[in-house]
């Protein structure tokens, strides 16, 4: 079913533009929001076991398990930022928590019973096997009471949804007064998007359904009731092996060769702090 109204400002004024071979997106003429106006009927159906370990050139994870240690360093860095916002720790909900790496880091830092929501049955079972408090559901299907959490994290999650305002409003209701929301998502107005155009890595048909810029994510948070809203470019810790693996999308032979060389020289585990075209945003209730 086509969604021909902007998910942010709800106008029906938009233009199509090409975001890849046979991939058209809608861009709002009023606020600049970008979205897939012909999303799949069941967007969550793809989050099965092979989503976390696959050979797809784009979409999912080439090997989530291989990158867990490095991903955890990124989550730890974000949690330390959150502690500064909160002037301490509190009750945490990680929405779209995948296999629970962020929650593991929260426990290690001393957060009290951090909890997660995840739509993937496979990911929930995996996270629970690690002793984590993770429940299958989303912001509309859960057993949490309103005003329960000091921090809600939506990390690389909101771009997978078709109604971001409803998602953010639901998160707002779960936060305590004075609590914070933290979001990471691809930045459709960033340097890498401008440089790569239709080859931008974060264009993922049937998976990424809404695309935010620094301005539109701020507007979305403000429309959902948040204040003290800020947004900026953000970085991720990544291994050389992961980088080269994903660059194979652009040049298979060259980057496969470089990946093999890096593995032979044991350089594939080198870690870099990179700006890869994502943003982070904060909002207070």
Q: What is the pLDDT of residues 191-223, one digit of tens each?
A: 999 988 888 989 999 999 999 999 999 999 999
Q: What is the mean pLDDT of the chain?
A: 89
224 has pLDDT over 70: yes
Distance CA 95, CA 142 (A): 11
69 has pLDDT over 90: no
Checking 7-10 for CB contacts under 8 A at 24+ apart, the result is: 7/33, 7/35, 7/162, 7/163, 7/164, 7/165, 7/210, 8/33, 8/164, 8/165, 8/216, 8/219, 8/220, 8/223, 9/33, 9/219
56 has pLDDT over 60: no
Q: What is the CA radius of gyration of the chain?
A: 19
Between 27-36, 102-111, 215-224, 268-277, the lowest mean confidence (pLDDT) is in 268-277
What HEC string does the chain produce? CCCCCCCCCCCCCEEEEECCCCCEEEEECCCCCEECCCCCCCHHHHCCHHHHCCCCCCCCCCCCCCCHHHHHHHHHHHHHHHHHHHCCCCCEEEECCCCCHHHHHHHHHCCCCCEEEECCHHHHHHHHHCCCEEEECECCECCCCCCCEEEEEEECCHHHCCCHHHHHHHHHHHEEEEEEEEEEEEECCCHHHHHHHHHCCCCCCCCCCEEECHHHHHHHHHHCCCEEEEEEEEEEEEEHHHHHHHHCCCCHHHHHHHHHHHHHCCCCCCEEEEEEEEEEEEEEC
Question: Residue 68: its pLDDT value, please?
Answer: 60
- Residue of 134 and 264 predicted with greater confidence: 134
Question: Residue 176: its pLDDT value, please?
Answer: 98
Question: Residue 63: its pLDDT value, please?
Answer: 46
Question: Residue 251: its pLDDT value, please?
Answer: 79
Q: What is the mean pLDDT of residues 218-242?
A: 92
Q: What is the mean pLDDT of residues 219-239?
A: 94
243 has pLDDT over 80: no
Question: Residue 64: its pLDDT value, please?
Answer: 53
What is the per-residue pLDDT across 163-194, written as a single tens digit (0 to 9) for each?
Answer: 999 999 999 999 999 999 999 999 999 999 99
5 has pLDDT over 90: yes
273 has pLDDT over 90: no
150 has pLDDT over 60: yes
Question: Residue 60: its pLDDT value, please?
Answer: 44
Assign 17 a pLDDT band (cuts: 50, 70, 90): confident
What is the per-residue pLDDT across 26-52, written as a single tens digit (0 to 9) for each?
Answer: 999 999 999 999 999 888 888 777 776
Distance CA 251, CA 274 (A): 20
Assign 129 a pLDDT band (cuts: 50, 70, 90): very high
Task: Tell me the pTM.
Answer: 0.90
Assign 67 a pLDDT band (cuts: 50, 70, 90): low
Q: What is the mean pLDDT of residues 67-76?
A: 79
Distance CA 78, CA 155 (A): 10
Q: What is the mean pLDDT of residues 92-115?
A: 96
């Amino acid at each position: 079913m086509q969604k021909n109204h902007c998910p942010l400002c709800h106008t029906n004024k938009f233009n199509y533009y090409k975001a890849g071979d046979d991939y058209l997106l809608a861009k709002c003429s009023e606020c600049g929001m970008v979205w897939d106006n012909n999303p799949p009927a069941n967007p969550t159906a793809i989050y099965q076991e092979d989503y976390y370990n696959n050979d797809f050139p784009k979409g999912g994870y080439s090997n989530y398990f291989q990158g867990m240690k490095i991903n955890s360093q990124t989550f730890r860095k974000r949690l330390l930022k959150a502690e500064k916002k909160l002037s301490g720790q509190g009750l945490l909900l990680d929405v779209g928590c995948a296999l629970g790496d962020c929650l593991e880091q929260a426990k290690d830092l001393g957060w009290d019973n951090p909890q997660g929501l995840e739509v993937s049955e496979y990911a929930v079972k995996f996270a629970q096997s690690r002793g984590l408090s993770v429940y299958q559901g989303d912001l509309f299907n859960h057993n949490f009471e309103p005003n329960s959490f000091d921090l809600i994290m939506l990390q690389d999650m909101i771009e997978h949804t078709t109604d971001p305002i409803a998602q953010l409003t639901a998160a707002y209701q779960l936060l305590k007064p004075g609590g914070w929301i933290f979001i990471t998502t691809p930045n459709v107005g960033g340097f890498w998007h401008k440089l790569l155009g239709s080859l931008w890595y974060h264009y993922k048909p049937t998976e990424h359904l809404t695309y935010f810029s620094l301005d539109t994510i701020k507007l979305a948070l403000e429309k959902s009731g948040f204040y003290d809203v800020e947004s900026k470019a953000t970085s991720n810790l990544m291994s050389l092996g992961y980088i080269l693996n994903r660059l194979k999308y652009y040049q298979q032979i060259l980057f496969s060769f470089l990946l093999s060389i890096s593995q032979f020289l044991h350089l594939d585990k080198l870690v870099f702090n990179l700006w890869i075209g994502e943003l982070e945003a904060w909002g207070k209730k």
